[in-house]
Amino acid sequence: MILFVFALFLGFFQNAAHRSGRIDPVSRAVQALVVPSATGVAGVFQNIADFGQGIKQAPELKREAEELRGKVSSLENELIQADMERTELRELKELLDLPTAAGRSSVVARIVGIDPYRGRITLSSGSAQGVKPRLPVIGPEGLVAIVEAVDENRSQAVLITSPEVKLGARALREDGPVDGIITGNTPNTLEFEVVRNAPIEVGDKIVTSGLSEVIPGGLMIGEVIEVTPAPEIGSRLIKVFPKLSPSFSQEVIILK
């Protein structure tokens, strides 16, 4: 009975800490004791996984490397062009005496823990780097997670596949975008809710709608893989396959 009371007390403490955007002391202590050693173990497993994958995909990787070399040189040219245009734009704005648009800065963080059961990741940056709750975490494929709790040098984020996450989303279609709400469902699927007769088809790309104050629009979320009529809820069940694939020690960007 004492253990149950203690469990409820600790649970209450954790929820209270989360509500104020902090990591509770118990989780912090457990993670401090475990994460440093676990990072080493994960590094070993990551190397083994990379080695196995490297052997399996060697021919494909070689071809891809050649393609990427070509793309890199083309992108380098574009980057130089963009830099020149940015400088020109700033100079023009200064000439017009307009304030320079405050672009959002970002923090690069590393994934140091993944809990697929509860749909959470632990990131290597925290409040000391300017991370705050509710900021979007972006990977190479698009939106990965939303920051939930922040410690000084660590933060926890909820994956967009978690049922706890609801986001404004937009289906990109040639006949015009369709707005709706995307919700996590399973580790491999999301559900997209739209108004009753909105046109949605398998293959439609889903991005963030940009209607939120902190999550910009146009971040890739996934692709529609199934549209099933669901007369019992007077609508359709639209399943989306997420683009995110968070892996241990992968670098992500937290958009401030």
Partner 1 sequence: MNWKPVVWGVIVLWLGAVLDFGAAPYLSIKGGLFAFTLTFAYLIAAYSRPAAGALVGFFAGVISGGLAGGGLAVHIISAVVIGFMVSKVARQPEELAALPTAGMIGAALFMTSLIRVFILPAGSIGAYLIAAGLSALMSVLLAFAVYPLARTLFQPKEA
Interacting residue ranges for partner 1, rule: CB under 8 A? 3-4, 6-8, 10-14, 18, 23-24, 26-27, 29-31, 33-35, 37-42, 45-46, 48-49, 113-118, 120, 122, 148-149, 156, 162-163, 183-189, 248
Quote the CA–CA distance of 114 and 118 in Å, as a whole number: 9
Least Å from the CB of residue 192 to partner 1? 14
Q: Which is nearer to partner 1, 49 or 89 (CB)?
A: 49
Burial zone of 193 (CB within 10 Å; 0-12 exposed, 13-18 middle, 19+ buried) = middle
Least Å from the CB of residue 146 to partner 1? 13
Q: Which is nearer to partner 1, 206 or 248 (CB)?
A: 248
Q: Which is nearer to partner 1, 125 or 162 (CB)?
A: 162
Q: Which is nearer to partner 1, 25 or 218 (CB)?
A: 25
Least Å from the CB of residue 222 to partner 1? 15
Q: Which is nearer to partner 1, 177 or 227 (CB)?
A: 227
Q: Which is nearer to partner 1, 1 or 101 (CB)?
A: 1
Quote the CA–CA distance of 212 and 104 in Å, as a whole number: 14
Least Å from the CB of residue 158 to partner 1? 8
How many angstroms from the chain centroid is the CA of residue 192? 17
225 contact partners, CB below 8 Å, separation of at least 6: 189, 202, 239, 240, 241
Least Å from the CB of residue 150 to partner 1? 11
Quote the CA–CA distance of 135 and 61 in Å, as a whole number: 34
Least Å from the CB of residue 98 to partner 1? 44
